[in-house]
Structure 1
């Protein structure tokens, strides 16, 4: 069995972090290392280090500017720490994700060079009074409709790179090195996951959907489309276009356009933010 490290990024959501830690403690296989990467959140580091299993904390500073969290560089920092500690199997879990009882064991037994293994992520409803109970999560959670959910014991190879996401996945240290990690030019919401998957494909690394490695995504409020991340989506989307020749997150961009938040300049294939009209302005109808 390879030496495993679970890598989680956190900035806030301390309750979500605590339940993830509880899930790891209750698992059939505990990771050899639990690495929590904090982004301007010293309290999260103290909580994680004092919990069970105790976390190795890596602090990544981030600017106070509204650009967003440096998620790509934080994942890279967590991976570096895991490799330095001798981990062979790198398991990335979003702070909102609680692993199932056998998730870590399933990742550890399946991981091999040349693949990114993605377990199914299922979404939980708002927590009941008193919070979630680990035993109830498999019954409460609903699998994501747009991604494969193989039966336990099955692996589906040849997955679509554009469906990869970093909420829950595992790979070997060697394969991580071959890919080169996430592009750290991405800051804030959007783009870095698909970019990473395309880097993997360019390095000859595939995406595989792994049955029996569930992650239960704890509820938090979201907006559709995520208008609060509009600036980051436009900035990261343009970076992605420069690197790969096409725009990611096209569904969000088209919905923003429908709502009058952006417009598409076809001649240059750029998306431009639409500024609201000043209050009191009007258009004369002659």
Structure 2
């Protein structure tokens, strides 16, 4: 076992101050506090946060448009000082065991990458906080829904993952050394899509392995879902081409296939041709009603 004592929680933000407030509340409720929260902010000013936290907050500005997600994660990792890097989406409220499980998992095997369970919350059903301004975990558990494509981890400590495509940005945990061995994220990916899948391939190439991590849940706060994400059409196409250039295969096939069915693109072998961009009405029609929690 390796001695891993310090944990940095890392998050990215553009807007979503209310969601960030809830993320902070979740970290304050941890049975084992993080050593720091590193915030890569992709907006003019850093987000607001309380001045009485028991852990430090380090804010790093990341410029760029569209969303420079890969660059922001690299910037957060570079600024972090912890032995363990626990990436947590700004929309997530971690349960009280998140930091403890992150520390334990990396101490048990510092070469691996761990994916906690995520449960999706519905559009706001009142406040997710108690009157004492701490997360109402009973309510969160009652309303959180597991993605149907993800396993039930209630009776699981850790379990290996064969498909590296399971890596997702909502939450993943790894040691600083594993992050460095993989080389961080490729900043050629700009905007939405593919940077996580590319990082998974980098992890595979570096010899790391993915594991599901039981014993903790991250509750994803609701925001509008678009199916498919036509608002990100340009960056998805660009990043899909970049990924193909890197790895000789396509990613985001489900979105590219949907684009093809709509007559937006044509994919043949190594070529991805844009036939037309989606209209404003098509983008608006892709927005799902509030009861839809995930794509």
| Corresponding residue to 2:235 among 229, 232, 239 | 232
In 2, the alpha carbon distance for the partners of 1:24 and 1:76 equals 22
Which segment is superposed worse, 67-76 or 201-210? 67-76
2:100 aligns to what SS in structure 1?
Answer: helix
Select the residue among 161, 175, 178 that pairs with 1:175. 178
RMSD between superposed Cα atoms in Å: 1.9
Distance 1:260 1:126 in 2: 32
> Taking structure 1 as the reference length, what is the TM-score of the superposition?
0.88
Checking the alignment, whether the CA contact within 8 Å between 1:71 and 1:188 is kept in structure 2 is yes
Tell me the equivalent position of 2:58: 57
The answer as to whether partners of 2:35 and 2:55 remain within 8 angstroms in 1 is: no
What is the match of residue 284 of structure 2?
none
Contact 2:190 2:235 in 1 (8 A): yes
Instruction: Name the CA distance, whole Å, in 2 between partners of 1:72 and 1:100.
Output: 26
Partner of 1:104: 99
User: 1:154 — aligned with what?
Assistant: 157
Of the two, which has the highest radius of gyration?
Answer: 1
Partner residue in 1 for 2:266: 263
Identify which range, 236-245 or 251-260, moves more after superposition: 251-260
Aligned counterpart, 1:122: 119
Secondary structure at the counterpart of residue 42 of structure 1 = coil
Q: Give the Å deviation of 1:49.
A: 6.2
Q: Out of 193, 198, 222, which is 1:195 matched to?
A: 198
Contact 1:11 1:41 in 2 (8 A): no
Query: 1:88 corresponds to which residue?
Result: 83
User: What is the aligned residue count?
Assistant: 268
Gaps of 5+ in 2: 280-295
Following superposition, the deviation at residue 212 of structure 1 comes to 1.1
C-alpha distance 33-200 of structure 1, shift in aligned 2 (>3 A): same
- The answer on whether the counterparts of 1:190 and 1:232 sit within 8 Å (CA) in structure 2 is yes
The one of 147, 167, 187 equivalent to 1:164 is 167
Q: 1:218, 1:109 → 2: CA distance?
A: 26
Deviation, structure 1 residue 276: 7.0
Distance in 1 (CA, whole Å) between partners of 2:278 and 2:171 is 38
Pick closer, same or farther for the CA change 1:214–1:267 going to 2, 3 Å.
Answer: closer
CA contact (8 A) 1:120 1:209 kept: yes
Q: Is the 8 A contact 1:116 1:170 kept in 2?
A: yes
Given the alignment, which residue of 244, 247, 250 partners 2:247?
Answer: 244
Q: Give, in angstroms, the shift of residue 35 of structure 1.
A: 0.8
Structure 1 gap segments, 5+ residues each: 278-286
C-alpha distance in structure 1 between counterparts of 2:18 and 2:192, whole Å: 22
